[in-house]
Amino acid sequence: MNKEEIFQLMNANPVFHLATLDGDQPRVRALFLYRADENGIVFHTGKMKDLYKQIEANHKVELCFNDHQQNIQVRVTGQLEQITENAFKDEICEHPTRAFLKPWRASGQLEDFYENFIVYKLSHGSAIWWTMEENFAPKRPVML
């Protein structure tokens, strides 16, 4: 797979699993991708969540995307950086797939929305893919 094919797979299969560390204990959870392209892999969380605390303690993570139709798994390793621009947070809130965020921003359900709505981006990661046909083949990392 090349970089473009990997980004296509991610965007077509936006539910992914994210692995972090909580001290020496690995933690994995499913998240919902905002977008993946040449600018990075973008998702969001809340500052009040354990996920935020784990990432802030260690920005190194691994993401795992699955295309169950084609039986392809893509794992991306890298470091997260936080995006703090309120205009970008507004863009995410206005996206049709993020309608659930609008009340949090508008009504104050999430106190100080811009401070507590955390957006992360993984840039310059390394991706590997897996298929049953290539199960024992050497990994061929793709720089994103």
Q: Which pTM was predicted? A: 0.93
CATH of residue 109's domain is 2.30.110.10
Domain hosting 81: range is: 3-143
Counted domains in the chain: 1
**Quick one: tokens of 87?**
């205009």
Euclidean distance between CA atoms 142 and 144, whole angstroms: 6
pLDDT value at residue 105:
81
Q: What pLDDT sits at residue 104? A: 80
pLDDT of 97 over the 80 cut: yes
Q: How confident is the model at residue 107 (pLDDT cuts 50, 70, 90)?
A: confident
CA distances from 35 to 19, 24, 48, 132, 138 (A): 18, 30, 23, 27, 29
Q: How much is the average pLDDT of 12-29?
A: 97
3-state secondary structure of 119: strand
Question: pLDDT tens-digit profile of 40-83?
Answer: 999 999 999 999 999 999 999 999 999 999 999 999 999 999 99
